[in-house]
Amino acid sequence: MLLNFRLGLEPASANIMDRPPNNGASGIFTKEFALDVIVYGLLMGVPPLLCFVVVVYAVGRNQIGTDCADIMDVSCGIVYRARGCVFLSLTLLILLHAFEMKDLHQSIFRMNCTKNKVLLFSVIGGVIALIPTIYIPMLNQIVFKMWDISWEWGLCIASIIFYFIGAEGYKALKRRLRSRRGLN
């Protein structure tokens, strides 16, 4: 929720007065908005799910233990590592998604992500807060029921790459469709 507030402090786009007015009858829940929710939801939801599946079923060979939600047991170690991987992956994707939402059509690589200092420092603070959450033993084991991760960072990086390729591809498609309709 704090990122939403920080994103609300984003200055208006330079070309805002060049855009045609929105149809007041359709409200804010347009077809494009609904499609955005579905596409970004999939881009942010599928990679952490795949992280869990890879850690538990491919690497852990389905050795998931019992009562992993209630007790900290060595037999649940692979589940705790998978939770750490999912937690890291999803949190990073949510934090980076804030930058993608600065503009619904423009590429993140064309935006000035340092202009909104409040948003920038909120994202940096969120990333920094992840490290103790994952690596302080009593905090990660008792509070979050997860273990620290090592090679799983590769899965998290792959999740971020997948997200950026998907999000930038989706935005490029939206820009192309808008230019065909003459809505630039």
pLDDT, position 181: 79
Q: Which amino acid is at 19?
A: R
pLDDT at position 119 over 70: yes
pLDDT at position 165 over 60: yes
pLDDT, position 34: 92
pLDDT, position 180: 83
Tens-place pLDDT, residues 11-51: 666 666 666 666 666 677 888 899 999 999 999 999 999 99
Average pLDDT, the chain: 87
